[in-house]
Structure 1
């Protein structure tokens, strides 16, 4: 099973990028996680789209289409989805009726130094996924709170309980994507 992972943070040392690296390490047998960097995707602008879809957007859409499922590391900024992540989702949802996200199984997880992890941002993104017809795995929710205590200086996920939950999420995503493919 091929899973496309991407983080809604551009910072190289972000907890959410580190969470994706941990997921790649913890992937169950039969699952391969490819990480896509959304940093090159320009701000959505219909004028730009009409003039020609940027190469970074085409690459993102193609990566989504070629994956069996997507794994989104969702940061939370000001109680919501970061603009860079929402922007990438907006580009992937175009053109209407031909979205790369249509029917693509998804799992969400996220890390934050705050006490609620990324609960609000994940809820917002689930709302967008209703519109794009992207079936998001309902459980388990992986909300990594106090992330600064769960990763080491090199960005390695060291908290064993969180590692177990990430593993459970990936197993559930594998099952979810398999059931939806039938």
Structure 2
């Protein structure tokens, strides 16, 4: 039975390289993992004032995460850290206090950037946030995808062979990681 993976994309831009990477990873994982993007764009900013009557978007998001066997976070780096929408999703999922949807779900992080650094700083900040909410993250292989504007074929959607090969290997390792749990 295939494990269900919630894919969270840290960029909200429709033509985001990270969304395209997520879509390609979903395609590459067919027959291995059941991956689906869980949207975060419509999550109202977390405030404890809304905990008593949470917005429908929070409830839907929390249920989607609860129903997942694992997590794959794919994100850009904004100002050397986590994009605000992704951090908000972490907060929404971890509250109200004592009711976090995150604990024990095995996860992995992929970051990308149009620079050669591949979102290195964001990758480590994302790890820090998810380790705190008790998500055991795959340590190796790491995935920092640099020069993300150049990793797609002429159609702008399909990964070039070397990147597809790397991400297929990453997915294989992630599948093994998820199955340990």
TM > 0.5 fold call:
yes
Asked if 2 retains the 8 angstrom alpha-carbon contact of 1:61 and 1:100, the reply is yes
Asked if 1 retains the 8 angstrom alpha-carbon contact of 2:48 and 2:96, the reply is no
- Give the structure 1 partner of residue 120 of structure 2: 119
Q: 1:153 to 1:63 in 2, by over 3 A?
A: farther
**Deviations along 1:105-141, whole A, 9 cap, x unmatched?**
1111022101110111010011111210001111111
SS in 2 for 1:39: coil
- Give the structure 2 partner of residue 74 of structure 1: 75
CA–CA separation in structure 2 for the residues paired with 1:30 and 1:173: 10
SS in 1 for 2:76: coil
Structure with greater proportional helix content? 1
Range with bigger deviation, 152-161 or 21-30: 152-161
Asked if 1 retains the 8 angstrom alpha-carbon contact of 2:24 and 2:159, the reply is no
Q: Which runs of 4+ in 1 moved over 3 A?
A: 152-155
- For structure 1, list consecutive stretches of 5 or more residues without a partner in the other structure: none
Asked if 2 retains the 8 angstrom alpha-carbon contact of 1:71 and 1:107, the reply is yes
CA–CA separation in structure 2 for the residues paired with 1:94 and 1:54: 13
The alignment's C-alpha RMSD in Å is 1.4
- Give the structure 2 partner of residue 128 of structure 1: 129
How far did 1:28 drift? Answer: 5.0
How many corresponding residue pairs?
Answer: 179
Give the TM-score normalised by structure 2: 0.93
